[in-house]
């Protein structure tokens, strides 16, 4: 089935404007509608896997018109966004009852989804920026949705730094237009191939690296994330860490570096450096945390470093023109880790929300002995923790192993060693979580704690099953060929992106 590409943006966008109209008495209908929208987007994303096409909005041909592009990379991100948003929305049914103005929350949630879908489908840099702003503004409001001091402070800090990132990106768009006379990615790519990288385009690329690096919370652009993720409601933390930083940061950066400007050794090493710095700094900062959600937030910084490292390592190998097979392997590891992290980190944030709702605290030193009281939450957290720590046969093990093999084949043995060391640190931090949250003696004040049944449990169980089965993506060749390989080919083919979209 060929799905018109605008529906990925139009459906959540229209629903987002309808939901606030539904008053307090129609709150169940608003909740049902929002869940139906995310389920519909999941079905559409699954049917679009392996598809590749463009859509000219209003039948205006490029470069003058707006075009949406679906290829292997964008379909992979659409799948990740739809899976996580469906689970987070299901979790929200009960979890968000403790907040007021639930229809407004649902509206902002769907605005964020519409913006992310628009980013991964946009075929020109200006509309990528527009959709990025839609998703960002919605996420600023959602971080501060609790309206307590902590939430508002985190939201303000996130908004300020996010606005700085958006300014960098907008200035980069202006510099690209000034130097190429186009905003369409394919035409920009064609212009870069014809004229080469001049000082203006190099400056634009540096602005994009800073702007999208800030959106992705890469070290040293990470200052907003440790406050924003813990303060947000649990399903929003899952969305921010699971897909937002990837769609607005990693995806956009990879698309521009590989398909628009073309890979270079210098940019490849910058990405490798950012990835390694994020991996190491995020892991060591997470080890010292006792706030459950803050530990997960710093862990997200570390894990996004794996993704950028894989992409950057692939760029370095491609720029050296040594062996495209090893470049493909590195990019495969990065993209597979992106997909893995989307699932297991979203699951971890949902389990933290379940624990916080039951205990009334995020401090692990005030918990303990919850395994018997919350068996489903404990089991879900155990599966997600094993995966993120790289315990075989869970999917995190396979993506990290692929990255290690790629680094070894590229003769970067020290990079492989860093990957292994950070994995050990990750294992230690999640053993700490289980030791202080689920094991030990149950505090007297938590004697009445019970499992969060209903939609919250259903969301956690669903993501747990997905997480447990993700390893099949590399173990079953047909699944890898259908889901991951097309995305890898989009990046390794590089500037062929413009050839495919522009008729000779």
Q: Report pLDDT digits (tens) over 379-398.
A: 999 999 999 998 888 888 99
Whether the per-residue pLDDT at 144 is higher than 90: the answer is no
Alpha-helical runs (H) found in 223-321: 225-231, 234-239, 245, 252-254, 265-287, 292-320
- Residue range 25-41: average pLDDT? 86
* pLDDT of 100: 76
Q: In a 3-state reduction of DSSP, which class is residue 362?
A: coil
Q: How far is CA 133 from the centre of its chain?
A: 16
User: How many alpha carbons fall within 13 Å on the CB side of residue 200?
Assistant: 13
Q: CA-to-CA distance for 154 and 148, rounded, in angstroms?
A: 10
Q: CA-to-CA distance for 363 and 391, rounded, in angstroms?
A: 26
Query: Phi/psi at 203 (nearest 5 deg)?
Result: -65, -40
Return the higher-pLDDT residue of 469 and 494: 469
pLDDT in tens, 101-125: 788 889 999 999 999 999 999 988 9
pLDDT in tens, 318-342: 888 777 888 889 999 999 999 999 9
Alpha-helical runs (H) found in 410-454: 413-437
Maximum pairwise Cα distance, the chain = 74
Cis peptide before 452 (omega within 30 of 0): no
* pLDDT of 442: 83
* pLDDT of 360: 83
Per-range mean pLDDT, top range of 414-418, 438-442, 479-483: 414-418
- Residue range 39-65: average pLDDT? 80
- Residue range 310-317: average pLDDT? 92
Mean pLDDT of the chain: 88
pLDDT in tens, 419-434: 999 999 999 999 999 8
Q: CA-to-CA distance for 233 and 286, rounded, in angstroms?
A: 20
Percent of the chain with pLDDT over 90: 49
* pLDDT of 358: 86
Name the strand (E) or helix (H) holding 67: strand 67-70
Q: CA-to-CA distance for 232 and 147, rounded, in angstroms?
A: 10
Q: CA-to-CA distance for 108 and 135, rounded, in angstroms?
A: 9
- Residue range 302-308: average pLDDT? 94
* pLDDT of 504: 47
Residue entry with tokens 């289980």: 434
Total residue count of the chain as it appears in this document: 504
Return the higher-pLDDT residue of 496 and 264: 264
- Residue range 474-502: average pLDDT? 78
Report which DSSP code applies to 53. E
Q: What angle do CA 235, 238, 242 make, to 5 degrees?
A: 150
* pLDDT of 123: 86
pLDDT in tens, 147-188: 677 788 888 899 999 999 999 999 999 999 999 888 888 888
- Residue range 133-159: average pLDDT? 86
Q: Kindly report whether the global pTM for this prediction surpasses the value 0.85.
A: yes
């Amino acid at each position: 089935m060929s799905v018109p590409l605008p529906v990925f943006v139009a459906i959540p966008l229209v629903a987002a404007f309808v939901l606030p109209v539904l008053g307090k008495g129609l709150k169940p209908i608003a909740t049902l509608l929002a869940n139906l929208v995310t389920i519909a987007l999941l079905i559409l994303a699954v049917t679009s896997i392996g598809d590749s096409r463009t859509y000219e909005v209003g039948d205006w041909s490029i470069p003058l018109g707006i075009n949406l592009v679906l290829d292997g990379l964008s379909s992979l991100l659409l799948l990740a966004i739809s899976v996580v948003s469906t689970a987070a929305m299901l979790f929200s049914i009960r979890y968000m009852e403790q907040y007021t103005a639930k229809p407004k929350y649902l509206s902002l949630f769907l605005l964020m989804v519409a913006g992310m879908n628009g980013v991964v489908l946009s075929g020109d840099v200006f509309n990528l920026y527009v959709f990025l702003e839609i998703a960002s503004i919605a996420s600023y409001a959602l971080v501060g949705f609790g309206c307590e001091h902590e939430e508002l402070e985190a939201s303000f800090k996130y908004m300020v730094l996010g606005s700085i990132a958006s300014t960098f990106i907008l200035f980069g768009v202006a510099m690209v237009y000034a130097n190429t006379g186009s905003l369409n990615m394919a035409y920009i790519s064609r212009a870069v191939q014809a004229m080469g990288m001049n000082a203006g385009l190099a400056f634009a690329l540096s602005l994009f690296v800073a702007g999208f690096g800030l959106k992705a919370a890469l070290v040293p652009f990470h200052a907003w994330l440790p406050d924003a993720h813990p303060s947000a409601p649990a399903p929003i933390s899952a969305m921010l860490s699971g897909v937002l930083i990837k769609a607005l940061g990693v995806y956009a950066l990879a698309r521009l570096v590989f398909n628009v400007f073309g890979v270079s050794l210098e940019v490849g090493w910058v990405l490798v450096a950012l990835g390694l710095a994020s991996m190491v700094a995020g892991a060591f900062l997470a080890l010292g945390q006792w706030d459950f959600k803050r530990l997960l937030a710093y862990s997200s910084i570390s894990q996004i470093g794996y993704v950028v490292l894989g992409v950057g390592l692939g760029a370095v190998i491609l720029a050296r023109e040594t062996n495209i097979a090893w470049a493909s392997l590195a990019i495969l590891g990065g993209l597979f880790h992106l997909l893995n992290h989307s699932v297991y980190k979203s699951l971890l944030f949902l389990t933290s929300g379940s624990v916080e709702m039951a205990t009334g605290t995020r401090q692990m030193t005030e918990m303990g002995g919850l395994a018997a009281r919350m068996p489903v939450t404990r089991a879900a957290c155990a599966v997600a923790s094993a995966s993120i720590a790289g315990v075989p046969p869970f999917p995190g093990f396979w993506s990290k192993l692929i990255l290690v093999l790629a680094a070894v084949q590229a003769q970067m043995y020290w990079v492989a060693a860093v990957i292994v060391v950070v994995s050990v640190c990750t294992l230690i931090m999640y053993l700490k979580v289980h030791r202080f949250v689920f094991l030990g003696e149950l505090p007297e004040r938590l004697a009445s704690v019970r499992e969060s049944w209903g939609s919250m449990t259903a969301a956690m169980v669903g993501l747990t099953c997905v997480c447990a089965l993700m390893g099949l993506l590399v173990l079953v060749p047909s699944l890898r060929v259908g889901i991951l390989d097309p995305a890898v080919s989009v990046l390794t083919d590089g500037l062929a992106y413009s050839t495919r979209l522009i008729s000779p």
